[in-house]
Structure 1
């Protein structure tokens, strides 16, 4: 027999945690479907439909007998995945009692939504864990002076922790929206072929109250906070789009953090960490690349790609539904969750291993100190009665004329203090200016307080989700 090469899912095999892999594995989906059928059978029996006890017991006994190859052979013959799994399960049990009154989407939509809900909850937990680790880093560095940059150019002073909190707040906003979405997430429930539940109603002899009880029992099994009441054969695919949009919001904060860390690493200011036996380049032995942060940025783009695929399904439903969405959802739903999970695993790893170069931060501060305090000098001039525009012009002229690499023997801040102290447009003398520039820690604005507020906000989530305290990333490839 000719050997068959197996082509792995690169996302799942290289970047994703075992728990997220299992959530979307085909075997797990088959088991979830069998649990769904068992719950429907038991509920139908409780409501008076004749189903022998021994049949339910037989199905339970073979629940875990999952032969994916056998199911695949059936599907090749039938060209229908759900019918293949029905026949496989019934043959194993020796009965034909499952799927009564149901259509394929009663099974697959509810089970897939269950997978989505489980995955969303795992993402929520990992995000909380990441925010706790980020909060620890913020707390450690909330007063460590940093040259903040806009347009990637030195702007004003901030703190290292405040910069981290900036990205953390975006992640927090995404977490809040994700949490609200999870708590209000509606499952399809039992709707039948076109949404009217005709076959189930007929099976229950037209008893609408019994049908409502059946739907409630299944909602309880699925753990749904609510179910849709008027969907067609499929639930609205805009729900899938919303799911991934919430993932993208969280991913955005993580990706911006990673990109900035890469910039800082390139300038020698910070590092994502570099392990004892790690290799940065096969050619250049000295290299210490920010490869995990690059992975985070790359997975953000992958996630956006899956989001684009799913957004194409939103608003594209034909009548009560069709299966043109199937191939997209089979690829994009697990792919989206694999992307965010891989990103979170990498983010957790970086938060564990990252560091900063305090000497390099101090050197950058010294080089840019007078210039990043230009607004401090401007505001003090205004407070002392100087004209804002006159002072602005004066500070601009002298700042731009100073060469940071000058051989004059004076530091840039000393040279700027000397020049501005002699300029009549500035109502400050050289001593006053020097004293201001000698105390950069006084010019952080609210940076430490803002950083501390983020810490408090992040830790509040860990109290709500205590399991996040012990969550650690799996070893990275």
Structure 2
């Protein structure tokens, strides 16, 4: 029972959605164990083992009954073995089938296969949420495809881009992350029925006795295939060989994929935090929301900060998964078990919550257009100096002379801006030079002339890259997350 003296993971209480929590819940885990035992028994019976219809019927009826966790805990305390505790718990409500539950199997028959099913379900949910985040940010990018804004390299003012084009860079990273998750889903394999050290020896003994013939080998292979099919997995996507467990490097690659998603999320949220400081863009801020307990005026980018913090956690968890894979001994060692109880569910819970926040922020980004324009205008004269120089040259001025005049005035104007906090007066300075007489400097400074093909790039990106994603995930796009904090 939950009490106020019991620790509760904030990933569950503050971040992860009910859907992701269900995937990693005891109900999902132990319920899948029961389905695996049923699939194994049914398949063994179909292939000729002495299992009765009555036993199968009883087992099938028991599989979906509520699990008595107190009974299971009592068995585990006595037996010090979680799988056997649940074998006995199931046996109590299916007494006729008790003798054939887990027949020929090792603990990792249920452990590994159930985890692979959980990984598949969790990756599928993550993929859907990435697609939703992409969709929301794409709507934003399309709306502001042509709004010029100051670009940055090295976090120093650089050639202008557009608000929509910058958003397309966030989306591009999420697209790459989605491709990574989809690849991981497509390449995920089922462990199947492999036995204690992966040799299938126990099952060969069941079907062939002391002298197994070719038909016994074929039945064992067919058993592996049947169970895989019954659990809703493509039988051609089974591991051909395993030790006692599926390769733990699978966990590492899955977490690597999650870290890729997290990095894309953190990049987006970091840019949002920087732009909030510049007062150009802002995440949603509700009417009664408090930005600071002390500074009442503040509108802290707390959602973007949460995205960054949770993403950092996901990225950090990859090290444990790779180390666990690297340190497996021969066919299997048990030091993977305790840490995998954390490294499998926790990154999924964290990333699930992260994506919900990304979707929330992307759905309500506030753009302060006048500030965007003012910030660009303050720097644009410096960036337009080459255009101004070319305009003067076309009027007949010497290129080197023009360059020197612009250089001197640019340095002086920049010094006033930095040392005195003055406005950028470069244009006023140049207007007083004879070589610029007759040149409409304001026309040269039209911001739309400095963004290149940014608007067209956004259009093409949406058409060629995003629309197919929207089509694939159409049914998921109406999802609206409910943030807990």
What TM-score, normalized to structure 1? 0.92
8 Å Cα contact 1:367/1:404 also seen in 2? no
How far 1:361 moved relative to its partner?
0.8
Q: Structure 1 CA distance, aligned partners of 2:342 and 2:425?
A: 57
Partner of 1:11 in structure 2?
11
Cα 1:359–1:44, aligned 2, differ >3 Å: closer, same or farther? same
CA RMSD after TM alignment: 2.7
User: Does structure 1 residue 401 correspond to structure 2 residue 412?
Assistant: yes
SS of corresponding position for 2:161:
strand
Alignment of 1:125-164 (within 5 A): 125-164=128-167
Alignment of 1:364-379 (within 5 A): 364-374=375-385, 376=387
User: Does structure 1 residue 37 correspond to structure 2 residue 37?
Assistant: yes
8 Å Cα contact 2:150/2:159 also seen in 1? yes
How far 1:276 moved relative to its partner?
1.4
User: Does structure 1 residue 203 correspond to structure 2 residue 206?
Assistant: yes
User: Does structure 1 residue 259 correspond to structure 2 residue 266?
Assistant: no
Partner of 1:108 in structure 2?
111
Q: Structure 1 CA distance, aligned partners of 2:169 and 2:290?
A: 31
Aligned residues: 470
User: Does structure 1 residue 230 correspond to structure 2 residue 241?
Assistant: yes
8 Å Cα contact 1:146/1:361 also seen in 2? yes
Q: Deviations over 1:59-81 (max 9, x none)?
A: 22222221223212221221111
Partner of 2:78 in structure 1?
77
Partner of 2:324 in structure 1?
313
Q: Structure 2 CA distance, aligned partners of 1:385 and 1:222?
A: 80
User: Does structure 1 residue 338 correspond to structure 2 residue 341?
Assistant: no
Cα 1:438–1:6, aligned 2, differ >3 Å: closer, same or farther? same
SS of corresponding position for 2:477:
helix
Partner of 1:24 in structure 2?
24
Partner of 1:460 in structure 2?
468
Cα 1:384–1:239, aligned 2, differ >3 Å: closer, same or farther? farther
Q: Structure 1 CA distance, aligned partners of 2:395 and 2:195?
A: 77
Partner of 1:418 in structure 2?
431
How far 1:177 moved relative to its partner?
2.0
Q: Deviations over 1:328-354 (max 9, x none)?
A: 111111011011101101101101222
Q: Structure 2 CA distance, aligned partners of 1:311 and 1:388?
A: 59
8 Å Cα contact 1:106/1:191 also seen in 2? yes
8 Å Cα contact 2:160/2:451 also seen in 1? yes
2:224 to 192, 208, 215: 215
How far 1:472 moved relative to its partner?
1.7
Partner of 1:178 in structure 2?
181
Partner of 1:355 in structure 2?
366
How far 1:152 moved relative to its partner?
1.6
Q: Structure 2 CA distance, aligned partners of 1:222 and 1:92?
A: 22
Cα 1:310–1:410, aligned 2, differ >3 Å: closer, same or farther? closer
Q: Deviations over 1:332-382 (max 9, x none)?
A: 110110111011011011012221101111111221111233455578789
User: Does structure 1 residue 123 correspond to structure 2 residue 130?
Assistant: no
Q: Which moved more, 1:99-108 or 1:58-67?
A: 58-67
Q: Which moved more, 1:179-188 or 1:393-402?
A: 393-402
Partner of 1:449 in structure 2?
456
How far 1:256 moved relative to its partner?
0.8
Q: Structure 1 CA distance, aligned partners of 2:392 and 2:305?
A: 44
Structure 2 gaps of 5+ residues are none
8 Å Cα contact 1:195/1:230 also seen in 2? yes
Q: Structure 2 CA distance, aligned partners of 1:47 and 1:375?
A: 81
Q: Structure 2 CA distance, aligned partners of 1:297 and 1:408?
A: 33
How far 1:224 moved relative to its partner?
3.3
Q: Structure 2 CA distance, aligned partners of 1:135 and 1:123?
A: 18
8 Å Cα contact 1:148/1:157 also seen in 2? yes
8 Å Cα contact 2:384/2:445 also seen in 1? no
SS of corresponding position for 2:330:
coil
Q: Structure 1 CA distance, aligned partners of 2:36 and 2:381?
A: 68
Cα 1:285–1:59, aligned 2, differ >3 Å: closer, same or farther? same
Q: Structure 2 CA distance, aligned partners of 1:187 and 1:8?
A: 32
User: Does structure 1 residue 48 correspond to structure 2 residue 48?
Assistant: yes
SS of corresponding position for 2:363:
helix
1:277 to 282, 285, 288: 288
How far 1:438 moved relative to its partner?
3.0
Q: Structure 1 CA distance, aligned partners of 2:83 and 2:387?
A: 69
SS of corresponding position for 2:102:
coil
How far 1:199 moved relative to its partner?
0.6
Q: Structure 1 CA distance, aligned partners of 2:267 and 2:399?
A: 35
What TM-score, normalized to structure 2? 0.90
User: Does structure 1 residue 438 correspond to structure 2 residue 445?
Assistant: yes
Q: Structure 1 CA distance, aligned partners of 2:49 and 2:11?
A: 45
Q: Deviations over 1:87-113 (max 9, x none)?
A: 111112113221111101111011101
Structure 1 gaps of 5+ residues are 424-428
Partner of 1:426 in structure 2?
none
Partner of 1:303 in structure 2?
314
